[in-house]
Structure 1
Amino acid sequence: MSRRCSITGVGPTKGHHILRSGKAKKKGGIGTHVTANTPRIFTPNLREKRVFVPEINRYVSVKLSARALKTLTKNGPYQTLKAAGLI
């Protein structure tokens, strides 16, 4: 299964880990300089959850991000899952 949230659609994003060396000018140095730029992947905070939906009287298994879990709690499972097209 992919690393993608079922509700928000958030997935992994690419970025860089930037290494800097030197002392800042305001601390008496000659300034910081970038010495390495290593690619990395930022993965979403995903959870596999079984959510009970009282309107249809059954459980639904979904892969959620932490943000989507808060949305599910706020708006209710039926409305959120229906908007995402999972019901």
Structure 2
Amino acid sequence: MPRVCAFTGRRTVAGWQKVEKGKRRDGGVGNKVKGRTKRMVKPNLRKVTTVIDGKVVKVYASARAIKSGLVVKPLKVKKAE
């Protein structure tokens, strides 16, 4: 199962990390890119128990989906003593 939010579709994305050098005050024109490397930006995913189509399932959900109320948690039933 891939690490993708079941509600928002957030997933790992690739980008670049840049190294910039140079100072404008020393006669240059400002920062220049001197190198770059690939980096991965991972979403803040949590494994939560939720209700989807009337069934209780465990899925990955992003923190934003949990905070915004997209995740519906199942009712907790107390056991009779």
RMSD across aligned positions (CA): 2.2
Q: Which amino acid is 1:9 matched to?
A: G
Identity %: 35
Flag as ranges the 4+ runs of structure 1 deviating above 6 A: none
Q: Distance in 1 between matches of 2:71 and 2:5?
A: 17
1 or 2, which has the higher helix percentage? 1
Per the normalisation by structure 2, the TM-score is 0.70
Task: From 54, 62, 67, give the equivalent of 1:65.
Answer: 62
TM-score calculated relative to the size of structure 1: 0.66
Spell out the pairing of 1:45-84 with structure 2 (5 A cutoff). 45-51=44-50, 59-72=56-69, 77=72
Tell me, which stretches of 5 or more residues in structure 1 are unaligned? Answer: 79-87
Amino acid at match of 2:4: R
Report whether the alignment pairs 1:21 with 2:16: no
Show CA shifts across 1:4-50 (max 9, x none): 00111111111100000111x2xx13121111011111111101112
Gap runs ≥5 in structure 2: 74-81
Secondary structure at the counterpart of residue 10 of structure 2: coil
